[in-house]
Chain A
Amino acid sequence: MIPLAHFMLVSAILFCIGLYAVLAKKNAIMILIGIEFMLNAAILNFVAFSKHDKIALGGQVFALFAIVLAAATVAVTLAIILNVYKYYRTIDPTKIDQLRD
């Protein structure tokens, strides 16, 4: 039996990796991968915690919904990134800066 603290530790590490990718990467797709890391950290938490919620199983249901929604978001975002590439010939968010003060 793996204790709950281990799951939380793994998910915290996953979340931090994701956050690092989001803040440091200069490629829109890598940022998207970072977002996936963060989502999966949360999903791992949900599944692990739902051990203590046997009746409603809220955590596992939440994990299923989160996976589906993550897929939908990624599909939309990838389409948008593809469009950006068509106009700018790059997907580096720091170089795409026509809109600013």
Chain B
Amino acid sequence: MNEFLPHISQLIQSTLKGFSFLLQELVLVLTFILVILADLISHAKRSAWAYRICIAGIFLSTGVGFIQNSDIARVTLFDNSLILDSTSIAFKYIFSAVTILFAIFIRFHKPLQNHRKGVGDLYMLLPAVLIGLNLMSMASSLLMIYLSVEMVSIASYLMVGYASADKRQTEAAMKYALFGSICSAVMLYGMSLLYGFTGTLNIIDPVFLNRLDLISDPAVALAIVLVLVGIGFKLSFVPLHFWSPDVYEGAPTPVTAFLSTAPKIAGFAILIRFLEPFLLPAQSYKLPDLFDFRAVLSVVAIVTMILGNFSAIWQNNVKRMLAYSSIGHTGFALMALIAFEGSGFSSLIIYFIIYAIMNMAAFMLVDKVADHTGSTDIRTYKGLGKVLKVEFVCFVIVLVALTGLPPTAGFIAKLFVFSSAFEYYAASDSIWALGLLITGAVATVISLFYYLKIPLYAYLKNSEAAVAVHVKRDFLTVVIVFLTFLLILYGLFPGLLS
């Protein structure tokens, strides 16, 4: 106890100083409480007040973040357990945008709105999960990584299981919750080993790496692999991907749209932070020969791209197909992460901005079509292209973007990733980089087959049932058109993103 006394004042000071940089999250905490109160007090139809306060709070927190972060280059908070730099700030903007889109999506999703529980509690989860996501993008100690990952996970389990309107939804929730808790328990054990090896929880501390260097290589490799299991669950790369098609198919479509974007991007934010010290060439620490991150992650990325894209070909359910395609996209993003030197980071962030837009738009369209036909099976899309004209024109543009063809933003995203991977290959001449480039190119060609299945059914096949569909449009259609417009705008003027 006596050893601790001289440090108290310094610790308290660093804690108090840290709060002034957390205004964005404090606003979200306040929003969280207000949304609960609003939902308790007002009995407005469709939880209108909870929705409004939720959206306003997230906008306010983004605005506060914009003012607060405008002149920050890099600060560490709370005794180095959080780090606020340009990367985490960029990630925070992506998360806020995705969460706002998610809130709007819930608002116009009929099955959830008509559910007897109402959607007030779902709006309550949004600020909470956004705090978790923001912390994930800033975490730089093992404790913060675990806390923020669990925060997001628990909220996600609740979202998937929230409506539990039928058998499939509860099944998806159970698979997700069980598999998620197993992965986080494995990750926690890995963290406890890393803590034991180094005596510190702080991963950006030089002491952490120096002490890790003294431990035998197999032990370090084991601990790091265990931690990667937990992160890999969030990213859903192979071999930790098998929960995602089931959960994405079973969960309500807005939740699927959210789960396939925000937590996945946040997982990458943590992976970047976790790998940064190992990948930076300037480090004094020499990588253990046994555990070569680049080789391991390259293999994972190659297998993920192949498996994700090939499995997607056989799917008839659109949500399941998009789930496999998002696994394929994880492989691409891993490729950008491996080619980290030089332009790796900026290309990764641009990739995620575009990925978030495409994915949200794609799932909104799936929901819009399901709203008319009551089905997410591709074979029921027959002839709908002539009835739901606006929707399917947007759908085709979004799918072209997901494939990565010009003139959409998807092309720009893929171009950045490929060029940074090529730079890395030219600089290092590594066989893995070459393998990644080839697999990436092949995967893009394969993805064309399953993405184009949707326009094939919608435009080239006819059906009598389609004519009877009564077209309904609401604000969600406007949002979809706006997102599609953004995809083309960024495709034509990529300079707008940086």
Contacts and interface: CB of A to CB of B under 8 A. Distances in A.
Interface in A33-67: 35, 38-39, 41-43, 45-46, 48-49, 52-59, 61-62, 65-66
Contacts of B141: 58
A80 interface: yes
Contacts of B200: 53, 56, 58
Contacts of B142: 62
B161 interface: yes
B215 to A, nearest CB: 13
Contact of B7 (A38, A55, A66, A93): A55
A32 interface: yes
B77 to A, nearest CB: 15
B249 A22 contact: no
Given A39-B188, A84-B174, A69 B195 contact: no
A59 B3 CA distance: 16
Interface in A45-101: 45-46, 48-49, 52-59, 61-62, 65-66, 69, 72-73, 76-77, 79-81, 83-84, 86-88, 93, 96-101
Contact of A80 (B79, B174, B188, B196): B174
A87 B199 contact: no
B143 to A, nearest CB: 5
A43 B315 CA distance: 42
B157 A80 contact: yes
Contacts of B177: 73, 76-77, 80
Contacts of A77: 157, 174, 177-178, 181
Nearest to A77: B177
Contacts of B39: none
Nearest to A69: B150
A49 B192 contact: yes
Given A69-B150, A101-B245, A101-B314, A35 B181 contact: yes
A99 B4 contact: no
A66 B201 CA distance: 14
A32 to B, nearest CB: 7
Nearest to A85: B170
B146 interface: yes
B76 interface: no
Contacts of B191: 42, 62
Contacts of A57: 4
A73 B154 contact: yes
A28 interface: yes
Nearest to B153: A73
B192 A31 contact: no
Contact of B178 (A8, A11, A31): A31
User: B142, B199, B250, B314 — which one has the most chain A CB atoms within 10 A of its CB?
Assistant: B199
A72 B188 CA distance: 15
B367 to A, nearest CB: 18
A98 B167 contact: yes
B178 A49 contact: no
A41 B79 CA distance: 27
Interface residues of B, number: 50
A76 B192 contact: no
Contacts of A93: 174-175, 178
B189 interface: yes
A99 B171 contact: yes
A61 B199 contact: no
A49 B192 CA distance: 8
User: B4, B142, B191, B196 — which one has the most chain A CB atoms within 10 A of its CB?
Assistant: B196
A72 B154 contact: yes
Given A73-B154, A81-B174, A42 B167 contact: no
Nearest to B320: A101
B25 to A, nearest CB: 17
A97 to B, nearest CB: 8
Contacts of A80: 157, 161, 170, 173-174, 177
Contacts of A79: 161
A25 to B, nearest CB: 11
B185 A38 contact: yes
Contact of B154 (A55, A62, A76): A76
Interface string B129-154: 00000000000011100110010011
B195 A58 contact: yes
B158 interface: yes
A52 B170 CA distance: 45
Nearest to B177: A77
B182 interface: yes
B60 interface: no
Contacts of A42: 185, 188-189, 191-192
Contacts of B196: 8, 45, 48-49
26 contacts: A32-B178, A32-B181, A38-B182, A38-B185, A38-B188, A42-B191, A43-B192, A45-B189, A45-B193, A49-B196, A53-B200, A55-B4, A58-B143, A58-B201, A73-B177, A76-B157, A76-B158, A76-B161, A81-B174, A83-B164, A84-B171, A87-B166, A97-B171, A98-B167, A98-B168, A101-B320
Given A88-B170, A93-B175, 7 more contacts: A45-B196, A56-B79, A59-B201, A69-B146, A73-B177, A77-B174, A84-B173
